[in-house]
Structure 1
Amino acid sequence: MRIQAAVVEGPGGPFTLRDDLVIEAPRSDEILVRIAAAGICHTDLSTRLRWPQQLSPMVFGHEGAGVVEAVGDEVTSVRPGDSVCLTYRSCTDCGQCTTGHPAYCDTGIFALNASGTRSDGTTPLSRAGDGRPVYGSFFGQSSFASHALAHTSNVVKVPADLPPTIAAPLGCGVQTGAGTILNVLRPPRGSSVAVFGAGGVGLVSVMTAVAEGCRVIAVDPVAARRAKALKFGAVAAVDPQAVGDVAGAVRDHADGGPAFAVDTTGQPTVISQAIATLAQRGTLALVGVGGRAEFDIMTVLTKGIRIRGVIEGDAAPADFIPRLIARYRQGVLPFDEIITEFPFHEIEDAARAASAGEVIKPVLRFP
């Protein structure tokens, strides 16, 4: 079947729309989805910068939403015509998956989601004419395309009346921000939560913690994002470039220090600030993708700080995404207010706007 996709030809290359790709028919355990919307996540943008040349050209995209067009013989969870949200892939059989923690699948989150191929090393995409392979299967989907092949573990049925531009971000960014609060930190009502980085994931963490009755302090250098945090109920929004002591500024708003903190930046300096901010026996959730970070071990030891890495909000999508939809419809998770829509053919403009901080959550609309 011939499809259109945004292809990255090599490391750091732009998203280029091509109409000459072919996608295979679904295998027995696969689901063919016609994509109606796809969110652009920081992971898409950062991964394309360092994606290996030997696995190029590549199709990214891991926040797809659309309608099922065909299913393999073994698929019983959805059928053609169902509206679905796409999320990350897991094996479903290992100890982590069977105990409700598929984000930490023993098969490996990168092996299933960021290898550029199916588990058997094949790719379902190729170029029409010469048949040259195009790599994909990103997060088991590669949804920067008119059609994507996904699997039962990363396809969640959603209500038909839910707009696809709302459904799309649920699969990663919204799930991560909300899950970090609800599934991992679980702050008691009245406790203080500091959120470092008020991008898409950070602002969803803010609105979720506020809905749980917490005092939230947001930290971000972008004025528009700080304003959004305040609109969503944060008691304070700190500009780290305007204060000499970020940790002290946050503690001033949290009775000596928050019990919980979320870092969405992955930046070593910010992580150190978050640790210094916390009260005794506080907990820091590391959500942002980054490299190495250094921190003062004595501070962590003497204050009894707990540091917890979080992937995908430690969420089991089939159960968690319906809960998020319910929160959205109740008005306590208004993440639609951080979305900016772009037509699919403007994907490179949307990526540039996201990288420049001009928009918070770009979502692509497909014809």
Structure 2
Amino acid sequence: MPTTTEAYVARQGSLKLEKVHYADLDANEVLVDITAASICHTDVKAAEGVFHMKPPMIIGHEAAGYVKEIGSAVSYVTPGDAVVLAFAWCGECRRCMSGKQPYCDEMRALNFGGSTRADGTVAVKGADGGGLNGQFFGQSSMSRVAMVRENCCVKVDGTREELRLFASLGCGIQTGAGAMLNVAKPAVGSSIAIFGGGAVGLSAMLAAKLTSPACLVLVDNSQTKLDMIPRELLEGVHAVNSSNKSSEDLAAELRALTPRGAGMDFAMDGVGHEAVLLAAHLCLDKLGTALIVGGSPTAKISAAIEGHLVKGLTTRGMHQGDSVPRVMLPRLIQLWKDGKFPFDKLLTMYKFEELHKALDEMHQGQVIKPVLVL
């Protein structure tokens, strides 16, 4: 049956809670009663019209809840299952078939395709009857009830309160953690620099701590943001304020922190700024790896080729930290339950109706990761 609910809809110059109408479920779609939806900077970019999917649209791509209804071809979940939502993937292309879902051949169509399904029908409409772009990252989950693609669902175990925490795991946190655990895989005693003290960078930092590094450094250009991080999370971490430092000077400072001043084995850019990218490359030791996680439509890599050749450097871009959600999210949850990955310390809870308060406090640097709770 068609479903009517409330969701946060971005239109030209506005973002507010509106009534929306979902069509009957397609064969591979699922309705999820949302218990919590986490806020990511990508939601803000999309709402402002500077991302792949444009307004009018329902935002939200980090959430969790309980399956309410399933399409006729859905087999992974059943009504009542607790799920965390992540990006959509097709499950049939050569990337998906080889366990590389973040690089699915249908990534753009499934995650940013808009309001029209493959058969030409409109999946979601606003109160005015006009079509809305939905299934942002396959889910558009900043809604009381979300219509999502089946492959977005990751079944989990946990109480309702735990599920509200797990809502934050589906994009930024798995990206940062995945950069360390799936891509870098640092040997014990490695030197690691992480640029960016937001949710992605701090998740990478928490994951890096699990690898017993010899030197772990968190870099950000805001002392306010660095001061906001819970002190217990920074145990064993050098926190460096990069404000008003050139890429060269910052890189020299970071190299000096490493054993013998040799430089970093891994430097992760979680910002996507050219000066940060350059500093990340310049601080590396021989055979070091620069990990590019921060997104930017215009930033370019400006590190000299000669340095790469002589030092044998690697530059590695990635999407979602190379995470396969149905493997990565249960792994992170178990690490959290074991007391080894305290991502919950990054979260601040708000009522579902308090989106704009959460956004204001996020922009003012008062919170790291806001979560809207239903």
TM-score (norm 1): 0.93
> 1:221 matched to which residue of 2?
221
> 1:182 matched to which residue of 2?
181
CA gap 1:207/1:69 in 2 versus in 1, 3 angstroms: same
Offset of residue 9 of structure 1:
0.7
> 2:243 matched to which residue of 1?
241
CA gap 1:102/1:119 in 2 versus in 1, 3 angstroms: farther
Query: Letter of the aligned partner of 1:312 in structure 2?
Result: Q
Contact 1:32 1:148 in 2 (8 A): yes
CA gap 1:118/1:86 in 2 versus in 1, 3 angstroms: farther
User: Does residue 63 in structure 1 map to residue 65 in structure 2?
Assistant: no
CA distance in structure 1 between the partners assigned to 2:368 and 2:52 by the alignment? 29
How many residues align structurally?
361
Q: Give unpaired runs (5+ residues) of structure 2.
A: none
Offset of residue 353 of structure 1:
2.1
CA distance in structure 2 between the partners assigned to 1:347 and 1:184 by the alignment? 34
User: Does residue 278 in structure 1 map to residue 284 in structure 2?
Assistant: yes
My pick for the range that moved more, 356-365 or 263-272, is 356-365
Which SS does the other structure have where 1:165 is aligned? helix
Q: Give unpaired runs (5+ residues) of structure 1.
A: none
CA distance in structure 1 between the partners assigned to 2:343 and 2:48 by the alignment? 27
CA displacement, residues 195-220 of structure 1 (integer Å, 9 cap, x when unaligned):
00010010010011011111310101
> 1:288 matched to which residue of 2?
294
Q: Identify which of 129, 132, 138 aligns with 2:130.
A: 132
Report matched runs for 1:287-326 at 5 Å.
287-290=293-296, 291-295=298-302, 296-326=304-334
Offset of residue 53 of structure 1:
12
CA displacement, residues 2-44 of structure 1 (integer Å, 9 cap, x when unaligned):
111111112xx342111x2111232211110011101111111
CA distance in structure 1 between the partners assigned to 2:138 and 2:53 by the alignment? 19
Contact 1:29 1:152 in 2 (8 A): yes
Q: Identify which of 355, 362, 365 aligns with 2:370.
A: 362
Offset of residue 254 of structure 1:
1.4
> 2:150 matched to which residue of 1?
152
Query: Letter of the aligned partner of 1:218 in structure 2?
Result: L
CA distance in structure 2 between the partners assigned to 1:95 and 1:118 by the alignment? 25
Query: Letter of the aligned partner of 2:218 in structure 1?
Result: A
CA distance in structure 2 between the partners assigned to 1:229 and 1:217 by the alignment? 15
CA gap 1:155/1:264 in 2 versus in 1, 3 angstroms: same
CA distance in structure 2 between the partners assigned to 1:242 and 1:281 by the alignment? 29
User: Does residue 15 in structure 1 map to residue 15 in structure 2?
Assistant: yes
Query: Letter of the aligned partner of 1:281 in structure 2?
Result: L
CA gap 1:51/1:191 in 2 versus in 1, 3 angstroms: closer
Offset of residue 127 of structure 1:
2.3
> 2:346 matched to which residue of 1?
338
My pick for the range that moved more, 76-85 or 354-363, is 354-363
Contact 2:31 2:145 in 1 (8 A): yes
Which SS does the other structure have where 2:221 is aligned? coil
Identity %: 36
Contact 1:71 1:80 in 2 (8 A): yes
Q: What RMSD, in angstroms, separates the aligned Cα atoms of the two structures?
A: 1.9
CA gap 1:103/1:229 in 2 versus in 1, 3 angstroms: farther
CA gap 1:123/1:260 in 2 versus in 1, 3 angstroms: farther
Offset of residue 193 of structure 1:
0.7
